[in-house]
Amino acid sequence: MSIGLPRRYLALAVAVIGVLFFFPFYAGDFRMNQLGLFLCFVMFALSLDLIWGFTGILSLGNAVYFGGGAYFVALSLKLKYAATNPARYGSGIPDFMEWNGLTAVPTWMLPLESIWFAAPAGVLAMGFLAFVFGFITFKRHIYGVYCAVITLAESLIFEELIIEKQAYTGGFNGITDYGSYSSNTNFYWVILAVTVLFFWLARRITTSHFGMILQSIRENELRSEFFGFEVANYKIFVFTVAAMMSAVAGGLYAALNGIISHQEIGPLLSVEGVIWVAVGGRGTLIGAFVGTILIKGAESLLSEQFAWMWGLLVGLIFILVIVLMPDGIVGTLLRRARRRRAIAAGRAPAYEPRAVSAEDTPTA
Amino acid sequence: MELTRRDVVKGALAASAGAAAFGVPHIFVRRLTQANAQDKTIKVGILHSLSGTIAIIERSLHNAELLAIDEINAKGGVLGKKIEAIIEDPKSEVRFFKEKAEKLILKDKVAAVLGCYTSASRQSVLPVFEKYNSVLLYPTLYEAQECSYNCFYTGAVPNQQLSDFVPWLIKNVGPKFYLIGSNYIYPKETNREVKAYLAKYGGQTVAEEYAPLGSTEFSTTINKIKSAKPNVVFSDLVGDSIVAFYKQYRQFGITAKDIPIGTPITTEEEIKAMGPENAIGHYTSFNYFQSLKNPVNERFVKAFKGKYGQDKVTNAVMEAAYFQTYFLAQAIEKLKGNTDPDGLIQEGLPGQQFQAPQGKVKIDPVNHHTWLWARIGRANTDGQFDVVDESKDWIRPDPWTRVLYPDKDCDFSKVPKGSKSGTITVKRS
Amino acid sequence: MAEALFAQFLTGFSIVAILLIISLGLAVIFGVMRVINMAHGDFIMVGAYVAFVMQEYFKLNLFWGIPAAFFVLAAIGMTVEWGLIRQLYGRPLETLLATWGVSVVLQQGIRLIFGPELRYVRAPQLLDGDFAVPGSNLPFPYFRMFIIVLALGLLSLTYWILYRTDLGMRVRAVNQNRPMAEVLGIDTRRVDRFVFAFGSGLAGVAGTILAPIKTVSPGMGFPYAVDSYMVIVLGGVGRLVGTVAGASVIGEAETVLAFLYNNVIAKLLVFTLIVIVIRVFPQGLFTLQRR
């Protein structure tokens, strides 16, 4: 069975997965819960790497799909919880519905009570949303900085909508108190399994012919068009896949966390995801894992000690990484390894010119 | 060759070391913590935002609680043991509140947590407290309609702020109210209650509108207010919006003599930020004002300013944070140093009394809320409040506001043992 | 009702003026350098804090605060341009991200220095109070009038610099066709530095005049940044008229909609409007013809 990974990396991957697998046994409940949530973020970052690192689409609003998937699952769990614990809020409906004067769950929401419907529905809904948005944006050849700003606007719209429609979404407070799978080792392993699966999937996509075209789009979109590729279609496809991946990650996050709010939909999380990928190394897939775990882990540990300067540190590190290591940690390591190989094989000079990237064309 | 086996092993070791480092300290810390719990200190968690948008007010809660802990420790602590504050900063983000609450309970094994300001943060952490059976003391005024087994509420509930305030405004200013608020649950619930009180006391709702949280542009709203000509503008705006609204209100030429603003939220802290001239004459309803003249309050204000700076002000929410710390200390003392959560919840905390800066306060024995005093203040030129009305006695807290939910109440003596909620149905005649 | 609507319209003017002042700096920068400065909102925030410092520590009122903020932010802008933007020349997406880092650093830095509390900045005594709008008896604040006047002033200043000076001509040349300008001997790096400094200075000025009517806190910048992006995206780049158009449409639309419905709906509808317009005009309403 071809995993698409050279043997040496495979060993490393197995080692890392092993460490993650045995984590609950020596780290305790609190850290295991944290790591579970981090892995959801890793999947989110992975989806961003697909669209940004490989295809060159910078989206500052992809958390909409993460949060969207999360809201579907959270609503479903909440409806079930309220129905089975009628004494909790006084009637069998969620508290935020009661506070907004609803007397019963709206009929269009009833199917969500079943998690087996809600979870896939969420993923498909997010996929559809991404498809529509991708269609509007990419068919019109909106890319680069404009695309980034438009996605930002879109995520703000959704964040505001979620807050406004309090009767259905819990508003600013979000959806809380619906039971969760935290401190559940089995659920942690489920998340780990899905993460590994997604990495495998991403690897398949990016090492295929399709993946090569994506990268050519990233390098020079116009040229790819001239080669005859329907660039918009490729972008729409990968954007949709990434959105559905995020939605799954979001659903798992909601089930693990026990609470979801507009913060998981808004631009803040979207930009954070981009930062994780940038620091880890875009276009490397594993960079998404490294960047997310590194930053979230450091944030968790350091903010416990140095709360006051943590934010400043993140900003500075980010600037340094962007300027000095544009390929991120993993990207730079891989590049160095490749160069060492090339020099050793006599295929490249010892001096390396400045890395040229796609946007280096003079006319913007 | 490219990567040798050595590299793979190195990589694997590095990865394991990294992940292990993330989790291993926990084992040692756990052992250490367990050892400590037996001997020297009583660990108490402090969970307030010290950065982010809510830090503006929440930092003062953190400061007040630390002041109380310092005072208690200076007098020898609780039965000889000092209180150790474990401080966490959730940075105004709801997901961090939950994470830090879990950390305090599971990892630091605190006896109880003093925390939260916004309803969003409280609602996000309560399931954690209920799941792991710990205790949260919540000092902030809120919309009520809740009583959780694992939470003790030391802030005002609507009947302690609105039931006197609304009729007083109707009588002394006028019956026509223009309701505004920030767009989330607390203002909406509060306005629902205000409307119920208006209906009961012959007032009238002229209009009701909500602004996005954090919005700072109110010129349109103010124009609408001018056209509608109400007697009172009742505001449930929170945070940044308060300062912007009051400032623009005055800039557009409306003074408190024409249409005063009445609110249960604006404190001395926000007045400091907007400048006293923007607040003169407007009304706030609270249990505590810095300007209260009694020896306990004078001592409290002096101590607070002494520790944190002469330019600091005190307000009702942090006064609750202050006295709830004393409640906790007294509860642990009552249990002879035992910090078992069920003991604290069922025996230690209920019925606790304390001479607070606002007056004598007490935790109701059956509903986990606190008996408080109600006062109405008018802002003056110093940025402080002149008390224009106050309740004759402390007021019993009604977690289910009678005017909206006549058939509900909160009574832990009437629910089965082990219930996480004290809500019961009652028949009132 | 008609009186209220007229008052609304006038209020809308002041909102358009605010949007214009906020966006002018970013429009100039983006037009010439094709760089989106994610720290723009935080430059505005620093401007507000400059006004605060001038008031509290130097006891000087806002009229001094405005030029002070301009120069402070121009200096900061020049530093950022030299230290950061220049290194990422030709890579707009990286620049966008790097400026996000700058935004975080600025916010945290200000928070560390001044604390997270809201700060109080006064309008100058001269501009306190309001006057009756002729034709009705609706009071309109002097300060808001000042904002409108200042907006027009800054617009004229920018226009004058761009169209009546040598430097401005060079800027326009780079704007229209960068490689050609370089070939003709224009020092594009110098132009970039000036443009970024000027744009940042304008942001600083925006901050000082917003401080008395809004709230001053380390995190205040983000909403203004978003507003300015919207103005630019809608109005198009490369031409001042685009920025004015963008600000006018968004400002008046938001005000009128807020009056008819409420603030929340207004915001949502305006955003949606922008997204729809972009669908039809991907480059904004007014663009520069490019060869």
* pLDDT score for A349: 67
Hey, are the CB atoms on A171 and B183 less than 8 Å from each other?
yes
Q: What is the mean pLDDT of chain B?
A: 86
The reply to whether C147 falls in a domain is yes
The reply to whether A284 falls in a domain is yes
- Reduce the DSSP state of residue B19 to 3 states and report it: helix
Hey, are the CB atoms on C102 and A149 less than 8 Å from each other?
no
Hey, are the CB atoms on C112 and A161 less than 8 Å from each other?
no
pLDDT at A2 over 80: no
Using a 10 angstrom Cβ sphere, with 0-12 exposed, 13-18 middle and 19 or more buried, the burial of residue A101 is: exposed
pLDDT at A177 over 80: no
Which of A276-280, B322-326, C247-251, C276-280 has the least mean pLDDT? C276-280
pLDDT digits (tens, 9 = 90+) for B397-419: 999 888 888 888 889 888 887 78
How many angstroms separate the CA of residue A20 from the nearest CA in chain B? 7
- Extract long-range pairs of A113-121: CB within 8 Å, 24+ residues apart: A113/A76, A113/A79, A113/A80, A113/A83, A114/A76, A115/A73, A115/A76, A115/A77, A115/A80, A117/A76, A118/A72, A118/A73, A118/A75, A118/A76, A119/A72, A119/A73, A119/A76, A119/A251, A121/A72
Q: Which of C213, C216, C220, C252 is the best substitution to test chain B (most B C-beta atoms within 10 A)?
A: C213
* pLDDT score for B316: 92
The reply to whether C210 falls in a domain is yes
The reply to whether C173 falls in a domain is yes
Q: Rounded to whole angstroms, how far apart are CA atoms A218 and B354?
A: 67
Domain count of chain A?
Answer: 1
CB A248 within 8 A of CB A123: yes
* pLDDT score for B36: 41
Using a 10 angstrom Cβ sphere, with 0-12 exposed, 13-18 middle and 19 or more buried, the burial of residue B39 is: exposed
| Average pLDDT estimate for C205-218 | 89
Using a 10 angstrom Cβ sphere, with 0-12 exposed, 13-18 middle and 19 or more buried, the burial of residue C253 is: middle
How many angstroms separate the CA of residue A143 from the nearest CA in chain C? 10
Q: Rounded to whole angstroms, how far apart are CA atoms C272 and C270?
A: 5
Place of tokens 């905390």: B349
pLDDT at C114 over 60: yes
Contacts of A172 in chain B (CB under 8 A): 120, 183-185, 213
Calculate what percentage of chain C has a pLDDT beyond 70: 95
Q: Rounded to whole angstroms, how far apart are CA atoms C169 and B158?
A: 64
Domain count of chain C?
Answer: 1
The string of DSSP codes covering B60-79 is HHHHHHHHHHHHHHHTT-BT
How many angstroms separate the CA of residue C11 from the nearest CA in chain A? 24
| H helix intervals, C58-123 | 62-80, 92-114
| Average pLDDT estimate for B367-372 | 94
Backbone angles phi, psi at A207, to 5 degrees: -90, 0
pLDDT digits (tens, 9 = 90+) for B13-69: 555 555 444 544 444 444 334 434 455 889 999 999 887 777 778 889 999 999 999
The reply to whether C178 falls in a domain is yes
Closest listed residue to residue B95, CA positions, set A144, A70, A1, C68: A70
The reply to whether A259 falls in a domain is yes
Backbone angles phi, psi at B353, to 5 degrees: -125, 155
| H helix intervals, B204-340 | 219-228, 240-251, 268-274, 295-308, 316-334
Q: Write the residue in C7, C116, C130 that is nearest to B59 by C-beta.
A: C116
pLDDT digits (tens, 9 = 90+) for A128-163: 999 998 988 888 777 777 788 888 888 888 888 888
| Average pLDDT estimate for A52-65 | 91
Contacts of C214 in chain B (CB under 8 A): 216-217, 244, 247
The reply to whether C71 falls in a domain is yes
The string of DSSP codes covering C129-177 is SEEEPTTS--EEEHHHHHHHHHHHHHHHHHHHHHHHSHHHHHHHHHHH-
Give me the torsion for CA of A65, A70, A72, A75, rounded to 10°: -150
pLDDT at C219 over 60: yes
Closest listed residue to residue C63, CA positions, set C138, C3, C149: C149
The band of A354, judged by pLDDT with boundaries at 50, 70 and 90, is: low
The reply to whether A341 falls in a domain is yes
Closest listed residue to residue A14, CA positions, set C149, B11, C215: B11
pLDDT digits (tens, 9 = 90+) for B228-284: 899 999 999 987 789 889 998 988 888 899 999 999 999 998 898 888 989 999 999
CB A177 within 8 A of CB B123: yes
Q: Which of A30, A160, A269 is the best substitution to test chain B (most B C-beta atoms within 10 A)?
A: A30
Range with the largest mean pLDDT of A89-103, A159-173, C210-224: C210-224
The band of A202, judged by pLDDT with boundaries at 50, 70 and 90, is: very high
Which of B81-85, B94-98, C287-291 has the least mean pLDDT? C287-291
pLDDT at C291 over 80: no
* pLDDT score for B27: 43
Closest listed residue to residue C254, CA positions, set C238, C284, C234: C234
Give the CA count within 13 Å in the CB-facing half-sphere of C24. Answer: 27
Q: Which of B124, B140, B404 is the best substitution to test chain A (most A C-beta atoms within 10 A)?
A: B124
pLDDT digits (tens, 9 = 90+) for B160-198: 989 889 999 999 999 999 999 988 778 888 898 899 999
* pLDDT score for A355: 57
Residue B69, both tokens: 């802990």
| Average pLDDT estimate for A244-269 | 91
Is the CB of A165 inside 8 Å of chain C's CB atoms? no
Hey, are the CB atoms on B12 and A163 less than 8 Å from each other?
no
- Reduce the DSSP state of residue B41 to 3 states and report it: strand
Closest listed residue to residue A274, CA positions, set A235, A253, A246: A246
CB B29 within 8 A of CB B107: yes
Hey, are the CB atoms on B16 and A15 less than 8 Å from each other?
yes
CA distances from A293 to A250, A290, A321 (A): 17, 5, 16
pLDDT at C188 over 80: yes
Beta partners for A176? A259
Contacts of B209 in chain C (CB under 8 A): 262-263
**Domain with C111 in it:** 25-220
Which of A73-77, B102-106, C90-94 has the least mean pLDDT? C90-94
* pLDDT score for B407: 85
Contacts of B253 in chain C (CB under 8 A): 129-130, 139, 141
ipTM value > 0.95:
no
Residue A47, both tokens: 């989806």
The string of DSSP codes covering A26-88 is HHHHHHHHHHHHHHHHHHHHHHHIIIIIIT----S-THHHHHHHHHHHHHHHHHHHHHH-HHH
pLDDT at A305 over 70: no
Residue C23 CB contacts under 8 Å (≥ 6 apart), including other chains: C227, C228, C231, C232, C243, C246, C247
Hey, are the CB atoms on A99 and B188 less than 8 Å from each other?
yes
Nearest residue on chain C to B240, alpha-carbon basis? C215
Q: Write the residue in C88, C230, C279 that is nearest to A323 by C-beta.
A: C88
Nearest residue on chain A to B6, alpha-carbon basis? A8
The band of A3, judged by pLDDT with boundaries at 50, 70 and 90, is: very low
Beta partners for B78? B81
* pLDDT score for A329: 85
Residues of C with CB under 8 A from a CB of A: 34, 36, 84, 87-88, 90-94, 96-98, 100-105, 107-109, 111-112, 178-179, 226, 229-230, 233, 264, 267-268, 271-272, 274-275, 278-279, 282-283, 290
Nearest residue on chain C to A148, alpha-carbon basis? C93
- Extract long-range pairs of C77-82: CB within 8 Å, 24+ residues apart: C77/C43, C77/C196, C77/C197, C77/C198, C77/C199, C77/C200, C77/C201, C78/C193, C78/C196, C78/C197, C78/C200, C80/C39, C80/C196, C80/C200, C81/C192, C81/C193, C81/C196, C81/C197, C82/C193
| Average pLDDT estimate for B95-111 | 89
Which is more confidently placed, B154 or C126? B154
pLDDT digits (tens, 9 = 90+) for B104-139: 998 889 999 999 998 888 988 998 899 899 999 999
- Reduce the DSSP state of residue B360 to 3 states and report it: strand
Number of H helices, E strands in chain A: 15, 2
Closest listed residue to residue C43, CA positions, set C200, C186, C273, C223: C200
* pLDDT score for B24: 45
Q: Rounded to whole angstroms, how far apart are CA atoms A203 and A199?
A: 6
The reply to whether C5 falls in a domain is no
Beta partners for B263? B284
Using a 10 angstrom Cβ sphere, with 0-12 exposed, 13-18 middle and 19 or more buried, the burial of residue A108 is: exposed
Q: Rounded to whole angstroms, how far apart are CA atoms A193 and A43?
A: 11
Q: What is the mean pLDDT of chain A?
A: 84
Backbone angles phi, psi at B233, to 5 degrees: -105, 115
Is the CB of C265 inside 8 Å of chain B's CB atoms? no
Q: Rounded to whole angstroms, how far apart are CA atoms A234 and A221?
A: 11
| Average pLDDT estimate for C173-201 | 89
**Domain with A302 in it:** 7-347
Which of residues 42 through 81 in chain C touch B, CB cutoff 8 A? none
Residue C215 CB contacts under 8 Å (≥ 6 apart), including other chains: B216, B240, B243, B244, B273, C118
Q: Rounded to whole angstroms, how far apart are CA atoms A258 and B37?
A: 29
H or E segment to which residue B199 belongs: helix B185-201
Q: Rounded to whole angstroms, how far apart are CA atoms B374 and B163?
A: 9
Is the CB of B346 inside 8 Å of chain C's CB atoms? no
CB B166 within 8 A of CB B198: yes
- Reduce the DSSP state of residue A220 to 3 states and report it: coil
- Reduce the DSSP state of residue B206 to 3 states and report it: strand
* pLDDT score for A140: 78
pLDDT at A37 over 50: yes
Give the CA count within 13 Å in the CB-facing half-sphere of A80. Answer: 18
The reply to whether C228 falls in a domain is no
| Average pLDDT estimate for B281-290 | 94
Predicted model pTM? 0.82
Hey, are the CB atoms on C105 and A153 less than 8 Å from each other?
no
Strands (E), chain A: 175-176, 259-260
Read off the amino acid at residue B176. K
* pLDDT score for B208: 92
Q: Rounded to whole angstroms, how far apart are CA atoms B285 and B288?
A: 9
Q: Write the residue in A271, A274, A312 that is nearest to C105 by C-beta.
A: A312
Sign, CA dihedral A46-A264-A326-A355, equals positive
pLDDT at C66 over 70: yes
* pLDDT score for A350: 63
Nearest residue on chain A to B211, alpha-carbon basis? A164
Using a 10 angstrom Cβ sphere, with 0-12 exposed, 13-18 middle and 19 or more buried, the burial of residue B24 is: middle
Place of tokens 């917003």: C210
pLDDT digits (tens, 9 = 90+) for B382-398: 989 999 999 889 999 99
Q: Looking at residue B241, what DSSP letter applies?
A: H
Residue B38 CB contacts under 8 Å (≥ 6 apart), including other chains: none
Q: Rounded to whole angstroms, how far apart are CA atoms C95 and A84?
A: 52
The reply to whether C151 falls in a domain is yes
Which is more confidently placed, B320 or B40? B320
Hey, are the CB atoms on B209 and C138 less than 8 Å from each other?
no
pLDDT at B323 over 60: yes
Q: What is the mean pLDDT of chain C?
A: 85
Contacts of C97 in chain A (CB under 8 A): 274-275, 278, 318, 322
Please calculate the CA angle B88-B92-B97 and round it to the nearest 5 degrees: 50
